[in-house]
Amino acid sequence: MATERGLVLVTGATGYVGGRLVPRLLEDGWRVRCLAREPRRLEGRWPGVEVVAGDAGDPESLRRALAGCQAAYYLVHAMGGGERGFAERDRAWAAAFRDAAEGASVRRIVYLGGLGRRGQVTSRHLASRHEVGDVLRSGTVPVTELRAAMIVGAGSASFDMLRHLTERLPVMVCPRWVHTRSQPIYVEDALDYLVGALAEPRCAGEILDIGGPEVLTYAEMMLAYAEVRGLRRYIFTVPVLTPRLSAYWVNLVTPVPASIAFPLVEGLRSEMVCENDRALELLPNVRRTPFREAVAASIREAETRHLATKWTGASRGRPAASLDAGPLPERGVLRDRRVVRTRAPLEALERAVLRVGGETGWYYADALWRIRGGLDRLIGGVGLRRGRRDAETLEIGDAVDFWRVEDRAPGRLLLRAEMRLPGRAWLEFRWREAEGGRELEQTAHYLPGGLLGVLYWWALWPLHVFVFGGMARNIVRAAERASGTARKGEAV
């Protein structure tokens, strides 16, 4: 297979690992096709990559996606779809993929699962990852299952959790699971294994445990991170913190919401150490990066504020339809519309709009935005701390604090709210030529969910006038400062 370099299907390409795997496969000479629920998110991202719309649980879209493929990467899981029924969804999706791969005469499936000794795994999510491997192997297509523990890399949920806990808490009172052993792996090494396993025929049918050169407890990882950063940290353990309580604590302290923190914490209770050395025998050229070196490299990448992928980009559940697709009736939609005229060039307006959120903030009343984000976290929402994948550019599907990019077109940016609301909300920006200059149009769209939603909108209406008006004006002022132009006109 290494010499033919045929067509490979990648599922989960909007996720953290999948989004970094695609360019690596292209560099290695493979032709790549991606399966995505929201194909707009991937179209044009990698020249020459075909994108097929579909779902891991839909046999017909799987048949279309797998047609003509020599091999396929299975990088999807049901963790983001909610706690209820995730194991059943995982099994159903894996069975549908197995059957479709057989029907398409695929020659290899490469699956990224999780480490952990069978029979001793206390995490339901980790047990489900093992079960997915069993389901895929029950077919006729040879499966290469790579099993990994924590992936160390800028933008991964596990690393963000480790990083923010260590950065923000000089003294940490932790549960006993921080002393469970694990074998973390640097993301670039994991990608080398994924690419190398496909090119090596002897990997077919193998279960390969992959990990870095060190076995560490989570406490040792936090202290090693602190050492790399030049921080002094103290860790004390107590026996009373359950995984659920730990997840809520992670939710309050880090950008990782409780829905994702819980399976991560639950997995840390099980020892995740490589049980075999077959990966070292079959793929000896893959470098095993020491943990501190991996941490230092990940910190450097995070500080650039330009990440290739981030955990917030993964598709979770069915995508909401865009505003232009017509899901919102004209009647019943409440709007706050602001227009500011300016002599700043369109390019400057675009740059200012596309920097919204993250470290730039929301241009006005940032304290109120932080309060709203904090309240959202308290009621189980994603909050404001997710930040951005890239400080300067936005792509469809990117998370922007507690918004997500619904549409990105010339002269237009549409954000969909993901905070907890009694309704559905969008924030739309348009920039265009106007008489005597240019103008920015900023519109908040809100479709209330019943009477509570209507009351919510009108209760916050005075704040909307204050916040949204100042936001539109300051975006224009930022564009004018960057371009050296004088401001003309007022919001209307």
Name residues of the chain where pLDDT drops below 50.
1-3, 317-329, 487-492
Q: Strands of 232-329 (E only): list them.
A: 234-238
In our burial notation (b when 16+ CB lie closer than 10 A, e otherwise), range 411-420 reads ebbbbbbbbe
Can you tell me the distance from the alpha carbon of 28 to that of 37, in angstroms, rounded to the nearest whole number? 26
Q: Would you state the pLDDT for residue 230? A: 96
Can you tell me the distance from the alpha carbon of 413 to that of 434, in angstroms, rounded to the nearest whole number? 18
Can you tell me the distance from the alpha carbon of 481 to that of 475, in angstroms, rounded to the nearest whole number? 10
Q: Identify residue 325 by its one-letter amino acid code.
A: A
Contact between 427 and 406 (Cβ < 8 Å): no
SS3 state of residue 50: strand
Residue 264 CA to its chain's centroid (Å): 14
Query: How big is the CA angle at 163 (ends 162 and 169), to the nearest 5 degrees?
Result: 90
Q: Identify residue 460 by its one-letter amino acid code.
A: L
Q: Which two tokens stand for residue 86?
A: 């995730």
HSE-up (13 A, CA, CB side) for residue 244: 2
pLDDT (tens digit per residue) in 103-154 = 999 999 999 999 988 766 667 888 888 999 999 999 999 999 999 999 999 9
Domains and CATH numbers, the chain: 7-313 (3.40.50.720), 325-483 (3.30.530.20)
pTM listed for this prediction: 0.87
Tell which residue, 242, 246, 222, has the closest CA to residue 234.
222
The residues, ordered by sequence, that sit 6+ positions from 243 with a Cβ below 8 Å of its Cβ are 175, 177, 262, 265, 266, 269
Q: How far is CA 91 from CA 133, 141, 268, 444, in A?
A: 9, 17, 23, 40
Contact between 398 and 392 (Cβ < 8 Å): no
The residues, ordered by sequence, that sit 6+ positions from 44 with a Cβ below 8 Å of its Cβ are none
Q: Would you state the pLDDT for residue 239? A: 77
Residue 192 CA to its chain's centroid (Å): 21
Q: Which two tokens stand for residue 205?
A: 């049918």
